[in-house]
A and B are shown apart, each in its own frame.
Chain A
Amino acid sequence: MGKENATWREATIAGLVLEPGCTAEYNTGTWRVLRPVHDMSKCTHCLICWVYCPDAAIIVEDGRWVRFDYYHCKGCGICANECPVKVEAHEHTGKAGKVIQMVEEKVQETCEK
């Protein structure tokens, strides 16, 4: 988009984006209401969540679950729904359920580095 806070005289014509790019550069995780949390100690790394995530927001390295990309996760909850591994007490929520659980998003935690 060129210059930050461009005036109408400075903005690119018709809002064209004149440099190459992809959606990885756009922070699209800002409107999430629920966030998924993950219990690494009990994860089997089956990667079902990675398969089902519609936004490539689950980062996998060397065949192992690494982290959520909260800059792009929209909080749809599909990963939590599809996660097949049950836990007695989740590391973060303390609740019984699955390895991935949805919790309320806190404004100050919108994006986690």
Chain B
Amino acid sequence: MALEGAHASAQAMRQINPDVVAAYPITPQTAVVQTFSQYVADGEVDTEFIAVESEHAAMSACIGAAAAGGRVMTATSANGLALMWEELYIAASLRLPIVMTVVNRALSAPLNIHCDHSDSMGARDAGWIQLYSETGQEAYDNTIQAMRIAEHPDLLLPVMVMQDGFITGHAVELVEVADDTAVREFIGTYTPKYSLLDIDHPITFGAWDLWDYYFEHKRQQTDALSKAMKVIVDVGQEFGKTFGRTYGIFDPYAMDDAELAIIVLSSTAGTARTVVRELRKKGLKIGLLKLRVFRPFPAQELVAALKDVKAVAVLDRSISFGAMEGAGPVFLEVCAALFAAGAAQKVVNYIYGLGGRDVLPEYIERVASDLREIAETGKVKTLVNYLGLRE
């Protein structure tokens, strides 16, 4: 099917047929909810669609519906995600397996509606699992897998599935949409462990939890996240057996004998892969790691994947303001992982594509040539660099 990335997400939502969707439209996510609400109006799903007055209310309604035992989904972007902030923590802390599509977009100000990862990176510590998608196909596939991951009995954690605003969100691509029955069978039925509507077993959600127990519950939460990586890999493999496209923690390209590596999220992986392919033809031993899972952060797996590499470039589509030299969040995590493992690779950061700025192949070529120099000299001249910035 020729679909926009946002429509691919809406198709996945249609096939999942959740009990409740509460959402508020915000560019560039609007296409997701608009399409899905059409499915509701046409009776193609049994979903109760709750039209709310804000994203804060959307996530609140999702939390209520999930606590009541429903299979719940929503979608958002940018400032809408920021408006959900406190509710994101509540969803994760109440261990509600809500699945949310995020069509990544810059945060104001200045006002900008185009792609970068400031929104989901701002939500990275809320306790949600985060999956990033390169294409509309991956957004579709990840959304279906997210439901299984979220509802896994070891986890019961909310999952957000990202794709790049406009770049894949509004771009038409060929997307293989699976058979409705196959998707339904893959996700199965959901039986909540605890439900407010189970009147035979009355319970309280969200009770007072002071100095006496809050700490224990946070420890439980971080333990649940630590089990997520295995579940994500298992579900990714099962998805591959059923639908032919297998997913893991990251997607390595030309990494087997690579001495230089680029790490990147989402759609820019496509541009980077093309450049890496060309440079490989010229004999440069460079590879690409497209990171799919950012939360929980796959520190050990990355260290293992990078063990034979001399220099690593991390591309960040957002800035962690006030962090070391204004670096990006992915870079900081990669540095922490390598340092803690006692690894000796040189690491360099590139901030790119903020507010929808184009990412050209020559930018990636510059990264590759910098990497070669770093590997030869063993020195990183500038820790944090900018691609496509007027300087």
Please report A residues at the B interface, Cβ cutoff 8 Å: 1, 6-9, 11, 13-21, 26
CB contacts (< 8 Å) of A9 on chain B: these are 220
Kindly provide the distance from the CB of B66 to the nearest chain A CB, expressed in whole angstroms: 11
In the bound complex, what is the Cα–Cα distance between A19 and B201 (angstroms)? 7
Please state if A8 and B217 are interface contacts (CB–CB under 8 Å).
Answer: yes
Instruction: Kindly state whether residue B207 has any CB partner on chain A within 8 Å.
Output: yes
* Total cross-chain contacts (CB, 8 A): 49
Q: Closest residue to A21 on the B side, CB-wise? A: B204
26 contacts between A and B (CB under 8 A): A6-B213, A8-B217, A8-B219, A8-B223, A11-B213, A11-B216, A11-B217, A11-B220, A13-B156, A13-B193, A13-B194, A14-B94, A14-B217, A15-B206, A15-B207, A15-B209, A15-B217, A16-B194, A16-B207, A17-B203, A17-B204, A17-B207, A18-B201, A19-B203, A21-B204, A26-B208
| Of the residues B201, B213, B219, contact of A1 by C-beta under 8 Å | B213
In the bound complex, what is the Cα–Cα distance between A26 and B209 (angstroms)? 13
In the bound complex, what is the Cα–Cα distance between A61 and B95 (angstroms)? 44
**Main SS of the interface on chain B?**
loop
Instruction: Kindly state whether residue B130 has any CB partner on chain A within 8 Å.
Output: no
CB contacts (< 8 Å) of B137 on chain A: these are none
Count of interface residues, chain B, beta-carbon cutoff 8 Å? 23
CB contacts (< 8 Å) of A14 on chain B: these are 93-95, 205, 217, 220
Interface centre among A6, A9, A13, A26 (most CB of B within 10 A): A13
Interface string of B150-181 (1 = CB under 8 A from A): 00000010000000000000000000000000
- 5 tightest A-B contacts by CB? A17-B204, A20-B202, A8-B219, A8-B216, A14-B95
CB contacts (< 8 Å) of B156 on chain A: these are 13
Q: Closest residue to A20 on the B side, CB-wise? A: B202
Kindly provide the distance from the CB of B354 to the nearest chain A CB, expressed in whole angstroms: 36
In the bound complex, what is the Cα–Cα distance between A15 and B207 (angstroms)? 7
Kindly provide the distance from the CB of A84 to the nearest chain B CB, expressed in whole angstroms: 35
In the bound complex, what is the Cα–Cα distance between A6 and B193 (angstroms)? 21
Q: Closest residue to B223 on the A side, CB-wise? A: A8
In the bound complex, what is the Cα–Cα distance between A45 and B193 (angstroms)? 50
| Also in contact, A18 and B203, with CB within 8 A (given A1-B213, A11-B213, A13-B95) | yes
CB contacts (< 8 Å) of B201 on chain A: these are 18
Kindly provide the distance from the CB of A2 to the nearest chain B CB, expressed in whole angstroms: 10
| Also in contact, A16 and B220, with CB within 8 A (given A1-B213, A11-B213) | no
CB contacts (< 8 Å) of B208 on chain A: these are 26
CB contacts (< 8 Å) of B223 on chain A: these are 8
In the bound complex, what is the Cα–Cα distance between A19 and B156 (angstroms)? 21
Please state if B203 and A16 are interface contacts (CB–CB under 8 Å).
Answer: yes
Residues of chain B from 179 to 237 with CB closer than 8 A to chain A in the complex: 193-194, 201-209, 213-217, 219-220, 223
CB contacts (< 8 Å) of B202 on chain A: these are 19-20
Q: Closest residue to A26 on the B side, CB-wise? A: B208
Known: A7-B216, A8-B217, A16-B205. 7 other contacts (CB 8 A): A6-B216, A8-B216, A13-B156, A13-B220, A15-B213, A15-B214, A21-B204
Q: Closest residue to B217 on the A side, CB-wise? A: A15
